[in-house]
Each structure stands twice: as structure tokens, then as C-alpha cells.
Structure 1
Amino acid sequence: MRPRIRGGRSTVLAALLSLALAAPITAAQALDSPAGAAAGATATDGADRTHPDRQPHQYEVTGPATPAARTALAATGVSIDEVHARSVVITADRTQAGTLRQLGYQVRQLPDLPAASPATPAAPGARVKDFPRGYTGYHTYAEATKEIDTLVAKYPAILSKQVIGTSHEGRDILALKLSKNVAKDENEPEVLFTAHQHAREHLTVEMALYLLGELTSKYGSDPRVTKILDSREIWIVPDLNPDGGEYDIASGSFRSWRKNRQPNAGSSEVGTDLNRNWDFKWGCCNGSSDDPGDETYRGASPASAPEVQVVSKFVRSRIVGGTQQIKAAIDFHTYSELVLWPFGFTNDPTGPGMTQDEHDTFATLGKKMAATNGYTPEQSSELYITDGAIDDWLWGDQKIFAYTFEMYPSSGHGGFYPKDSVIAKETARNREAVLQFLETADCVYRVIGKEGQYCKGR
């Protein structure tokens, strides 16, 4: 089949060709082990993944060694999963991989995870509603909701649940509030944690559940946790993409699904990449795709995805008396073990609307948190350009100090699908970083010693 080169990308692909031809054809760094882009099952609902050439796999692409080269690669519509010295790992279909080979890159398909069998056999044609064997420690949407309801019932004085909206398929999107006087809207700094924008990144739901369990169970016994809940209002949105997450496991084998499950008008393709759909610099800078079939499809318009609309509306609802009460935020993703901060749409270290002090605050706190969990700290665009991302929107539109944590693993070791045996260790690994983040939230500028200048009277 002829590789598809889509309309509107001629300039980007020309740049990619020139970068590809200039790149060495041998990788400077071997992968530790095959990364897991499990495509053991074929999607059967909708035309988006029914053809073998459209099923996602992971590939190692040799050559891209600079942010510009990686940005040109990402502009073809693939998602970049790992970045190495002179190679990257991408998720793409075989047609896209063919396009990259035609452009001069050495592209090697990595082994898929073995096709996993369901933990509980289902009747022929029935949808599986649990993770495969070896992964049942992960929570389905129903299991996570049940655990949340249990915690709310157990700790009603410090934990409450709100349904802030619904997904495309009608699943509740929840916001959990943690605070000493949880029923009152007090004049306290607020912090937001979000998870699971990308369907296959199930470890992020476990991170949100870990925070809920840790902060509730340690209140009154751990002095740091107690002080934080006495002086902060914490919001956790544990599952931004419940439809995609359920679809990813519904067949009994992982589908390596990234997007939501919203149909795209005029196309048989399904889904929008939620983290390219936020209404700030949307589609501005070759940091997302305009093709509904691509991994990084940005949607028909800014905030066209219902899940993005729900969380955007919630964040704006925290503006009280003209002031945004949410001071800081972390959005959890997998994988690559990174702490990232804005901007993603530009290589400029400050960018439009960001002062040097603001940049220094982002970088200092990012490095401080990374020192506790062993992640690599950097501005998002040091990897490659993205546009329409949540962190850029939270800062650029709402002036919230917003970070992305890319969780375990750093490379290989299961990729998007590490076994459930890592959950406890890899969620607890971020405990200290989160506590420091919460402690800093009342005046983030404190990390650069300028609280007197920016936080007077707070």
C-alpha cells in the first residue's frame, strides 16, 4: 500500500525529509528491552483499527537527535513514546511506518507484548470488563469508582466527591476534594491533580488512587499530611478519559488505544487526543495532527472533546472574586520518567506571557521534585513541540503553575503496560515530590526566594 501523505503537511514533511536524510542510519543507543505497544487484539467497533495496516505498534526510529527533528517526526501524526540520544520510540500504524521509511529513516518494529488472555473468560462475542492476567491489580473504571466511594464513606470529614460532568459515552468524570473542612469553600490555596488523559496510560489512575488513599489514611498521624490538609484544598480528577480506558481493555488484550471514543464527523475514524485539544495555542505550531486517524489528532476545534470541556469548566469554576484559587497542578502520564513544565508550543524558555522569574520558578521547582523521584526535569518543548496541551492551557490561560509527570518506566520494561507488580512502588515513588509540591503551593515563588515580591499578604 502506498504510504499516506496527507494534505496540509507538505512543508512539515519536506522538513522531515531533509532531517531524515541528514541523520545517521545507526542508533546511538539501544533500547533496554522491547517496549510494550500491545496490539494483540484487533479493534472491532468502528473502522478506525480494523485493517491490519491501521493497528498500532511501537517502532524504533533511528536518526532524530534534536527537538526540531523530533517535532517534524511527530508532525506526521505518530506519537513519540521514548526519546534517546539519536533515536526515538514511536507508536504508529504500518502505513505511517512506511511513510517514515520512504522519508529515509531506519524504522524497526519492536515486539508487541504477548497477546494476554482475560483474567476471567467471557462468552463468545461478549466484552471483557477486566484487565488481563498479570494486570488485574489495575482498576477498571467500575473498580476505581467503588474504591473512591469507599474512601469517601470512610473519611467524610476530609474527602468529598463531585460529578463535574460526563464523558462522550456518559461515564461520570469525578473531582475529589481533600481538605480539613471539606464541605466549606475556604480561602486556602488549591492544588489540582489530573490523570489518564491517554487511555493506555492506566498507571496514572493508580497514581490518583494512591494519592487519595495516602492523604486520607495519613491525616492526623503524619504531621506533614495533616498540615497540608489543614491549609490546602486539594482536587483530584482520577480519570479524564474513562471511555478510552475501558475500550483499551475491552477485548481481553490491550489495544494500545490513546484517544477518547468520540466519533469524528465526516470520518470513520474515532477519537481525539485529549492532550492536544486544550484551548490554548490549539493547532498553532505543528505540535498535533489534523487527521482524525492519527494518534495525536487535535479534534475539530479547541476543547471539542467533552472531557476537555468538563475539566476546563471545572477549572474556571475555581475563579472566585476574579482570582483563580488553583495555584498549582500536576497532570500524570506514562511513560519516560520526566518532570515537564510549559511551554510545549515554543522552544523559547520564557515564551509569550512568561517572565524570567516565572520560568525560573517552574524550572527550580521541577528540578527540586525530580531530585526526589529520579525523573529527568525539562521544559516540555525540549522533547518536541506540542500544542493544545493541558499544561500550556493551565498556565497560558489560567496562570496555574502546571507540570506533567511522565511516570514509570524510563524505557522498555512494559512501556505503557508494566505489570501490576510495579504499582505500589511506582506510585509511592512520587510521594515526596507531591508533598513538596503541596507545601509550596501557597507561594510557588518561594523556591526562587522571591516570596516577598510576589506573595505579600498571603
Structure 2
Amino acid sequence: MKLILSRILIAGLGIIFSSLVAEERMVVRFVDPDKTVLTEFNETDYDIAAFKPGEFLDLVVSKSQYEELLTRGFHITVTQTEDQLRQNLGDVRDLYGYRNYDELLEDLQEIELQYPDICKLYDIGNTRGKEYSMEGNSYYNDYNHEIWAMKVSDNVEEEEDEPSVFYMAEHHAREPISLEVNMYVLNHIISNYGSDPIITEEVNNKQIWFMPLVNPNGHKIVTDEVDLWWRKNIRDNNENGSINFGGGDGVDPNRNYDWNWGGEGSSGDTNSETYRGPSAFSEPEIQAMRDILGSHHFVTGITYHAYSELVLFPFGYANNIQAPDHDALQELANDMAFTIPGQNGGYYDPIPSWQLYPASGTTDDYAYGEHGVFSFTIELATQFIPPASQIEGICENNLEAALILLTRVNKKALTGHITDAESGDPVVAEIYIDGIDNTGEFRKPYESDLFFGRYYRLLQMGSYDVTFSALGYETQTINNVSISPLQQTVLDVELEPILMVPVTGRVTDGYTGAPIGQVQLTLSSDPDNLIYSDNSGYFSFPAVYEGTYIVHAESENYSTADIPVTITVDDYFIELEMYTFYTESFESNEFSDEWNSNGNAQWYFDTESVYDGMYSVRSGNIDDNESSNLSIDLDVTGYGSIGFHYRVASEYSPSGNYFYDGLVFSIDGTEMGQYQPTEDGGTPWTYASFSVSPGEHVFVWSYVKDGGDGSTYMEEDCAWIDVVEFPPTGEPDPPADNLEFMVYSGWNMVGLPLNVENPSYENLFPNSVTNTLFSFNGQYIQEENLVPGIGYWIRITDEGNVSISGQAINELSISLMEGWNLISGISTPVNVQNIIDPDGLIIPGTVYGFEDGYTEAENMDPGYAYWLRSSGEGEITLSASATTSRIRLLELSEHLNALVF
């Protein structure tokens, strides 16, 4: 339910950014706020300083905003003024202080000089300020900063087969305490190397990366005391060539990562403190973080922020979401949090990030979602810039947690190498764990690395079934792998390479068997490679590895289908069936029996808004927290899709990040899509389509409303659907075919090429001589009825055409005995070379027809019988879709090409 604070209040609290520099700001606190308060301020782009569920919500506000909040009846207190913040920054401290950029760089360079065997300093990218300066804008010369990373390892200049760990700090400029904690951890590790055996072991067996200042330009604004509340980088959003300190410039670095970028908790408004940027990774500072995360095998990491005394873990991009590795992430968060004392007693709180408030495009979500890194955010302290008396304590209090993260991969972890069983080369393979990787929200699969084939999985104590798979290799599953609480479990795996197979096939109408030309086809192994069937329905894909794939097929007037196929060396011909869809356009102005409407109001026929024709159907009139549902149950008989046109006029989210009221479509209880007006309030007719597999399915369209009307309420307040395209729901009898073929006076070899109601020879061949129908099974047998696939001799009195009506036979399996067999064909001609003969039974050159004597046959035509010699017992198949010969070549000298009984 979405409860709404007064819209007048929010409008009255609008920020006039041009006046903020002149107007003093402060931090105000809401004590024990409910979720409604947090949601409302988050949605309206207020500057949220900190939030601790069940305890407080802190906002950065101007003096006039503070007074406005008081007059509106909010119970708030001021926790920090700008003068107090400035005093904290400028005090003399026991530590060296809040380093400015130059001091930080000097410290890092000195560390590299002092510890050259284990420390290497890297320039990993430019800042936005340096880019502007290099372009010739002298205004930004004081912001000519680089992004620096310190690597700590024993063979520091080599990329070894070791796990990497990262410590990042100061994405947000007003959080310089994060930089100090980062540097404290770095100094502790390097100063204890060689004397502390645990630290020495960690440095010798890991690659430890420190990025202490992600946002140098913003950091300068704060440390120079130009604007102590500055959060973002200095992107020149309005392109005026300078920094607008009153607002409008800068991007929030921790909303610029490409994992659910543009979602909840970020803003498209350049004036917002959570402005996400024009695109994911638009900012050079975050490009640098992306590149370093993608260049090393990181297993764990911490990014330090301020403030709230929290340990956060992924996911955080939306409410009520859970990572597949949630339990192991929570366990590690607990282990770290319960070692970090709070400044006012107790310990830091470990929670998934979304429980704080949803935020998308963040470091943790990206590092975990893209690379599987157990990445944590530690929200330090109780204010952005703690005073001198607190800084050293905060650093010391956070050291043990940093070391717990560093050593995590040493225990309760599965690791090893994955290699090619034949060459021994490293293989990039997916490591799938049942019960983990098939739970929670999507993240990319864990993979072994390119250079060593090394993989890591951080787990909890227990037993797991682990599957290793890679393109071009046989999948291997190892059951009951035991994970120890005290050490790593090492499991090296050799994968057997598999063959590549050329793929061919044919696509036909599932009802009629007719070929379909110009079908648009893609294979899941290469979805960008688009091919088309020819006019006979045939197609071919480039060679693929043996395995199971999805063929996506689209053709005009047919239901789009995603069809699973299995490709092997022995079975590489794909037979696809597509079905024409039937359409419900609602022009009858009456629901058929299959439709059902329920909920708080029924759907009804409407002429006010239609996609096509005179009628559509419209949701019923409902109130808050109600729904109007329309459903249909169908027995889907083939692969296809359900498509429909919809229009929605409802309350909507201008940012597109939220769903209040609108249309929800589901299949079998699983939500497939949520639909609302566009971000600018447009309500166009729009098409949606979803793949459907064979089986019983329930399709439901629901118009739903939340708990209240917002500022974007629309008077129509409903949804429409029109022109619904259904997947195949029946197997109708193929249409009747009529075949004609010539018979001659005297003896003829004939067959039955159609399924018919009356297969008696007297019905089919009225000009035949009585009791002259014979089949052959090592000897001649007199028959009364004909059976498809069996050949017959019959005596005809008069030459002429025979006409037979029935249902087409497009594929038929025929049993053979060793020696000569009398068989007949199907409803279409089949080339002898295209007979499907997997066991190589047919002796080449021994298929004969009869017309005034025996002649070797090239094709088996409908209505006629043929002699065929087999090398053994077995089965062959005649198919209208077969294009490749399966006949095994034999030595003709073994089987004389002569018709002898």
C-alpha cells in the first residue's frame, strides 16, 4: 500500500537549488519513522543523509526547509549544523587528519617506496575534472585528479593464481571518514607484514586492492570547505563550463553502476543528490571501478560509506528481493558487524541493502550481480565528518571486520581448477550449485577464470551438488561435495570436449504438414545470427556443439514459438512445427464460455477505446486496494505464444521506478508484466507477447489499484485489452487430400498413400479383378484391405486414373525383414536417397518400381509399391521433411543387384 503525505507539504518543501549555497544547511532527524515517511522523502528526491530502520531517518535540509517541516507538524531535531561539521573537519586530530587529495597521493607514493616488494601503486583512470582540464578548460585545473589503486601482494607485479579482495572508499565526497578507515586498514596490513604470521600469509596468498578515493573531485570541494555537504562528482550537467555549487551539477557515483541502473532509489533529475547520470558507467570514476573489478578475480570486497553504523549486503535495487547467496552473505555480514562496536554502545547492524531503502546502480549490486563478488557496504559512524575524538576509534573498531573479510575465502569455500581433459588447458566454465543458484533474484553465473581455470564459491558448512558446464564440453555433476567450516574444499575438474554438429531442419505447419517458407529463425547459442527457411521450409544453422538449445521461430500469421531441441551427432535434423494462431477480437460483444471475470468488478465490452474493430474489453470500476480480473484457461497443444494489445489509464510513476496502479498480466500465477502509462502520462495502445509451452495454462489480466490516489491520477482509471492472439489449443484433423495416379490393365504394384475410412481394395480400386490383392511377407498373402506403407500386387481390368480421398500421411515408419520387401510410399514423393535408414539396412541400387517391367526407382511416388532389399531386420522412415540420405553404402558385390526371390 502506498500512503501519501500531503502533496501540498511536498510542494512547499521544494528546493530552490540556486539559493542553497547561501543558505545554511543542517541534518535533521525523524525518530522511529515508519516506512511511509522514508518512501515519501525518497520519492521526492530529498537528500537522505542516513536511515536506520526502527531508529531514525536523517535529512540534509536548508534552514527554510527545516522551518517549513516544523510548521507542518513534523517532530524533528537538529543533529548537526554546518558550523559543527566545519569544526569537525578543521580540528587537530590524533590521526594525520582528513587527507586532501595531494596528501593522500603523497602517502600512497611513500608507501610504495617504503614497501616495494609488496606494494604497487596504479593510476587506474581519470576523474571528470581531469577530462575537462585536458580539454582546455582552465577552470578545472585544480581538479586535475587521477584515480589511484594500491595493490598489496608478495609478487606484486605479477597476476598470480590467487583470490583478490578489494577495499573501496569515498564514492560520496562528504564521507571522508571512509577514506581514513580504508587507509588505516592498508597501513595495518603493510606494517605487520613479516611480523604477524596471519597477515604475512594473507599477503603471500592473495592480491589485496585498495581504492581509497573514488571521487577525488568531490573530495576536494569538501576538504576545501567550499561545500561540506557535496556528495556527487563534478559532471557539468548544464555544460556552462564551471561547477554549480547551488545544485544541478554532478552524478552520484554510487548510482552509476550497470546493475539495474535507472531503477528505484536513483533519480533522472540532475538537481537530485541521487542523480544517476545519463547512462550506466557514464562517469570516468566509475568506469575505473568497472575496469578493475573486471580485470582481477575478486572474491570479497568492502566499500566504505557514512553514516548509520550498518553492514549492508546485496541485493538492494528493489524492495523484498533476495540474492541467491543470501544465507552466506548474511552469515559473513553478521560475522563482521558483531565485531564493530557502535559509538553509543552495541554493534553495527547487518541487513540486506534493500531493507535500508532501495537503491539501484550501486557498487555492491554490480560487483555481486556481475562478478559474484561478496561485496559489502559498511556505513561508518554516526555523522558524515566525525570529530577528532572519534576518528581513531572508528578506524580501530572497523579493523577486525576488514580482516574477517580478507580471510573469508580460506574456509567454507569450494575452489579448484577446471581444465580440458585432453589438452589440460584452462576452461572457462559455469559452476552451478543446486539449492543456491536456482533461488533468489538473477545474478550472472559463477565462472572459472580465463587464465588459470580457477573458481571460488563461498558457501556455508554442509553438502552440495555441484554442476560444471561449459560450451563445447560434457556437463559434469558431482554430488554431496562436503564444505568444511575450517578450511577450503579443493575440487579440480576435467571436462571432456564434445563434437560440433552441422544443424539442418525443416519447418512445417503443425496442422497441415505443409512447409512454411521465410520463417525467421534464431538458435539460442547465437541469438544474433538470423536465418530464414526457404520456400520448401528447409533451413540450416552453422555448426554447434552437441547439447540442448532453444529455436526461436517467427512467421506472419503463425504463433511465435520458442522450441527446445536437442542436437547430437546422430540426430541433427530439426523438425519444427508452427501453428496458426486464432484471435479473439471481441467483436461478438459477448464473452465465450472459456472466459472468466472475477475480483471486485467484472470486465465488460467497450467502444470508447479500441485497438481494432468496434469493441475492446475494459476492466471494471474498482476502489483502492481492489482488482478486476479477466482470465482464460487453455490446453495448449504446441509451442507458441500469447500476444495481446493493451492500453492503461491510471495513476503512474513519473520516474518509471514505481508501480502504483495498472495492468498486471500473469501466466499460471507467475507475473509476466506490469503495465502503466508512460513516464510523461501517455496511454498508447501497446503490444505484448510471451512464449508458451504445451500444457494446461491459466492466463490472467488484472487491473489493480494500491491504497491511495496520487498526483498522476487519471479519470478513466482502467485498462483495456484487444485482439488477443492465442497459442495452438487443438489438433484438428488435417484437411482431406485427393490423390490421383495411373494404373494399367493387368498386374500393378500399388500402395495406400492416405488415411481413408474404407481401405478395402474393392472400394479403392473398383476396376480390379476379385480376389487379386496380394501382399508379400516372404510369400504372397491374399488381402482384403490396404494398409499404408505395405506394397501390394493387384490385377486391373481397364487402364485409367485411380482417385483416392483421405488425410495426408507426411511421415511413416516401415518394418523390414531381411531380404526382399514390398513397400509403398506416403502422400508426397520421397527420393530414395532421402529415406531415413539409421541402421543402413537398404542395399543401394535395390529399390525397384514396376511399369511394364521392373525399373530401378529414384523416387517413391504416392499410390505405387516398390521392391526393396534389406540387409537385415529393422525399421526405416519415409518423411516429407527428410533432406539428407541416411543409407549406408555397402559393397554391391555382396548383394547382387538383381531381383531374385
Q: Which of the five TM-score ranges fits, normalised by the shorter chain?
A: 0.7 to 0.9
Tell me whether 1:79 sits opposite 2:53 in the alignment: no
Distance, in Å, in 2 between the alignment partners of 1:75 and 1:102 is 22
Task: Determine if contact 1:81/1:335 at 8 Å carries over to the other structure.
Answer: yes
Map of 1:426 onto structure 2: 394
Aligned mate of 1:70, from 25, 32, 38: 38
Task: Determine if contact 1:191/1:326 at 8 Å carries over to the other structure.
Answer: yes
Structure with the higher fraction of residues in helix conformation: 1
Map of 1:6 onto structure 2: none
Change (3 A) 1:102 1:83: farther
RCO comparison, higher one (Cα < 8 Å, 6+):
1
Change (3 A) 1:310 1:157: same
Tell me whether 1:445 sits opposite 2:458 in the alignment: yes
Tell me whether 1:408 sits opposite 2:381 in the alignment: yes
Aligned mate of 1:343, from 299, 307, 315: 315
- Equivalent residues in 2 for 1:16-415 (5 A)? 16-17=4-5, 47=18, 49-52=20-23, 56-61=25-30, 64-66=33-35, 69-77=37-45, 78-83=47-52, 85=54, 87-93=56-62, 105-114=74-83, 132-134=90-92, 137-170=97-130, 171-251=145-225, 255-265=228-238, 269-285=248-264, 287-318=265-296, 325-350=297-322, 354-355=323-324, 358-373=325-340, 374-409=347-382, 415=383
Q: Secondary structure at the match of 2:338?
A: helix
Task: Please list the CA deviations of residues 158-210 of structure 1 after superposition, one character each: whole Å capped at 9, or x if unmatched.
Answer: 11010000111121101111111111110001111100001011111111211
Q: Partner amino acid for 1:339?
A: V
Map of 1:5 onto structure 2: none
Distance, in Å, in 1 between the alignment partners of 2:253 and 2:86 is 29
Change (3 A) 1:69 1:345: farther
Change (3 A) 1:453 1:204: same
Task: Please list the CA deviations of residues 249-277 of structure 1 after superposition, one character each: whole Å capped at 9, or x if unmatched.
Answer: 224x7621111111113685111111111
Change (3 A) 1:190 1:61: same
Aligned length: 390
Task: Determine if contact 2:21/2:227 at 8 Å carries over to the other structure.
Answer: no
Q: Secondary structure at the match of 2:339?
A: helix
Task: Determine if contact 1:164/1:173 at 8 Å carries over to the other structure.
Answer: yes
Q: Secondary structure at the match of 2:128?
A: coil
Map of 2:619 onto structure 1: none
Task: Determine if contact 1:134/1:419 at 8 Å carries over to the other structure.
Answer: no
Task: Please list the CA deviations of residues 111-138 of structure 1 after superposition, one character each: whole Å capped at 9, or x if unmatched.
Answer: 514368899xxxxxxxxxxx52346622
Q: Secondary structure at the match of 1:299?
A: coil
Change (3 A) 1:369 1:227: same
TM-score (norm 1): 0.77
Per the TM alignment, residue 339 of structure 1 is displaced from its structure 2 partner at its CA by 0.6
Q: Secondary structure at the match of 1:61?
A: strand
Alignment RMSD (CA, Å) = 3.0
Percent identity, aligned pairs only, is 30
Task: Please list the CA deviations of residues 222-261 of structure 1 after superposition, one character each: whole Å capped at 9, or x if unmatched.
Answer: 111011111111111010011111101224x762111111
Map of 2:404 onto structure 1: 436
Change (3 A) 1:292 1:183: same
Q: Secondary structure at the match of 1:280?
A: coil
Q: Secondary structure at the match of 1:17?
A: coil
Task: Determine if contact 2:313/2:330 at 8 Å carries over to the other structure.
Answer: yes
Task: Determine if contact 1:330/1:405 at 8 Å carries over to the other structure.
Answer: yes
Q: Secondary structure at the match of 2:318?
A: coil
Distance, in Å, in 2 between the alignment partners of 1:344 and 1:368 is 20
Q: Secondary structure at the match of 1:340?
A: strand
Q: Secondary structure at the match of 1:198?
A: coil
* The 10-residue stretch of structure 1 (211-220 or 89-98) with the greater mean CA deviation from structure 2: 89-98
Distance, in Å, in 2 between the alignment partners of 1:288 and 1:273 is 9
Per the TM alignment, residue 370 of structure 1 is displaced from its structure 2 partner at its CA by 1.0
Task: Determine if contact 1:76/1:289 at 8 Å carries over to the other structure.
Answer: no
Gaps of 5+ in 2: 10-16, 131-144, 341-346, 414-456, 465-480, 484-488, 493-901
Per the TM alignment, residue 448 of structure 1 is displaced from its structure 2 partner at its CA by 4.0
TM-score (norm 2): 0.41
Change (3 A) 1:20 1:385: farther
Task: Determine if contact 1:165/1:174 at 8 Å carries over to the other structure.
Answer: yes
Q: Secondary structure at the match of 1:310?
A: helix
Structure with the higher fraction of residues in strand conformation: 2
Q: Partner amino acid for 1:17?
A: L
Task: Determine if contact 2:311/2:349 at 8 Å carries over to the other structure.
Answer: yes
Map of 1:457 onto structure 2: 491
Q: Partner amino acid for 1:133?
A: D
